[in-house]
Structure 1
């Protein structure tokens, strides 16, 4: 029989410990980091089409080792990266130094951000929402920190593996969006929480991931009214 449901804070601590343990090797996987100039160029093209040409203040939530944050900075945006894992942030800061980029990386909770209302033009996140114990609270927070007319842009997926990831055995049932969701379902959730003009497109090209993805990958975004 399954143990009693854990509190959101207990779940977050378990998630934090998991990603701290994975931080040093996370970028070894071609799905996670950039391993060729072709892959880098492909991601720049995707992000440019979803964030626009003009300079924006972007909060990259659940930034991990800074892959998306660094690409956004390369496109000319003013980027702040937030993550709950100190280990991931250490890797991100090291890459920032190597690439000489002016990105602020700081500890933060995606569901309770230390930022003022309307502080950013956009929020981005990659493969984050499935790790959160209360996704609706996170979406409300992302809306709060994005100015009216700004955007929330998520890179997400949908998988249906036979069992939970190692390290997630005790918490996966406490994560409402564990295993991801089809884009249509996530689009409906974003609309339910006030986003407008929600659209999505597939991200299934081999170039983006280093190989053909084994499950559905996509990018989805909506406007903050």
Structure 2
């Protein structure tokens, strides 16, 4: 297995401005974020569908899980409810505040941090599982992020990456405006499974791709674009 460490290119002023714009976008989106069926998991069928998949992807009890780009903490909530020890990281303070409130309301322990998903502020701590959902397309250097994430895992640890190509069946006019300049991101609009597998493959001992487009309960209804989970083990 290749070394998981990779030097991160120093961000340019343009990178920094774009990252700030993306963070501001998600911070402003936090109050309505859970209105999306697969974000808030308010419908019992959607919540149960995600709980079922997480039980397969994270089968051991009391795993140390890093939820990168945790949003409002819906998956963190399911993981904590299953007995795992969860640390959530998100760049948007508004998302983190809602995640903290969600777990507190449920009486479940979890630790949430505001920070850069490219380099989660968790110090020397290592995790059994790193979970990321719908995040890589928002990062200025997703390949560097993958190197960093692999380095945060214990030997035998697992990456669970839920990704896809967003709204390929919808026209450009149907997509809400995003942060200005985001179209320059390497994986803007999402990443195909074969591309992600090729990028991550040299860093891990093995991986598999699980298609998710054909399970409407995960998304609150049918979808026609590519959605999948990539599971990679050290």
TM-score (norm 2): 0.87
1:84-141, Cα deviation, whole Å (9 max, x unpaired): 0001111111111211110111111111222244611111011000000011121111
Q: List runs of 5+ in structure 1 lacking aligned partners.
A: none
Contact kept? 1:23, 1:65, Cα under 8 Å: yes
CA–CA separation in structure 2 for the residues paired with 1:150 and 1:134:
23
**Correspondence for 1:119:** 126
Contact kept? 1:118, 1:148, Cα under 8 Å: no
**Correspondence for 2:68:** 61
Contact kept? 1:20, 1:87, Cα under 8 Å: yes
SS in 2 for 1:31: helix
Q: List runs of 5+ in structure 2 lacking aligned partners.
A: 1-11
Say which of 162, 179, 196 aligns to 1:186.
Answer: 196
Aligned length in residues: 218
SS in 1 for 2:65: strand
Report the alpha carbon displacement of residue 55 of structure 1 after superposing the two structures with TM.
1.8
1:9 aligns with 2:4: no
CA–CA separation in structure 2 for the residues paired with 1:53 and 1:117:
22
The equivalences for 1:75-86 within 5 A come to 75-86=82-93
CA–CA separation in structure 1 for the residues paired with 2:64 and 2:73:
16
Contact kept? 2:37, 2:46, Cα under 8 Å: no
* Aligned-residue RMSD, C-alpha: 1.7
Report the alpha carbon displacement of residue 165 of structure 1 after superposing the two structures with TM.
4.3
TM-score (norm 1): 0.91
1:22-51, Cα deviation, whole Å (9 max, x unpaired): 100010111322122222111111011111
Say which of 90, 94, 102 aligns to 2:101.
Answer: 94
